[in-house]
Amino acid sequence: MINSRDIHDLHPVVQDKCRRFLEECKKSGIDILVTSTYRDSEAQNALYAQGRTRPGKIVTNAKAGQSFHNWCVAFDVVPVVHGKPVWDDTDIWLSIGHIGRSCGLEWAGDWKSFPEKPHFQFTGGLTLKDFQNGKTL
C-alpha cells in the first residue's frame, strides 16, 4: 500500500507547481506541511472504507481510481504555526488558496459541493475518466 507525502511522487508538471506554491507560501510567511500526494488503489480503498465499513469519520467519496491523488496530480497540505498543524484558521486557508490559484493550481476550497481546503490539484483540463482511459498530462 502506498500512501505518499513525498512531492517526488507527483507528476513532474504538478511537482513544479507544488514547489512554486510552497516557495510562495514561505515568502508570505506561511509554513506548509504536505500531508498527502500519491495514493495507490489499496490506500484509496482503505480511505474510502473509513466511516463506512471501518471506524472513523468519512473523509472521501472516492474509491480507487476516482481520486486525482491516484493519478499523481493532487496533493493535500496543512499550514503549520509554531510547529503545529492548524486546521481551523479560515484566514490562513484563504491566503493559501489564493497563492495556490496564482501558481496555476485548482483549490478544492473553492468547490461548491464537498469543499476540501487542504486539497490542491492540476489536471490540465483532463477528467478522471481521461486518466482512467490512460491519458496523462
Q: What does the binding site for Zn ion look like in residue numbers (CB under 5 A)?
A: 76, 119
For residue 33, the cross-strand partners are 78
Select the residue whose beta carbon is closest to Zn ion and give its number: 119
Min dist. Cβ of residue 36 to Zn ion (A): 6
| Closest alpha carbon to 34 in 49, 15, 51 | 15
Identify which of residues 29 and 68 has a Cβ nearer to Zn ion in the complex: 68
Q: Which residue has the cell 486557508?
A: 93
Compute the distance between CA of residue 73 and CA of residue 1 in angstroms, rounded to an integer.
18
| Cell numbers for 88 | 481551523
Start-to-end Cα distance in the chain: 24
Identify which of residues 92 and 120 has a Cβ nearer to Zn ion in the complex: 120
Residue 44 CA from chain centroid, whole number: 13
Min dist. Cβ of residue 103 to Zn ion (A): 16
Min dist. Cβ of residue 31 to Zn ion (A): 19
Identify which of residues 59 and 82 has a Cβ nearer to Zn ion in the complex: 59
Residue 53 CA from chain centroid, whole number: 24
Identify which of residues 44 and 76 has a Cβ nearer to Zn ion in the complex: 76
| Closest alpha carbon to 12 in 127, 124, 130 | 124
Min dist. Cβ of residue 52 to Zn ion (A): 18
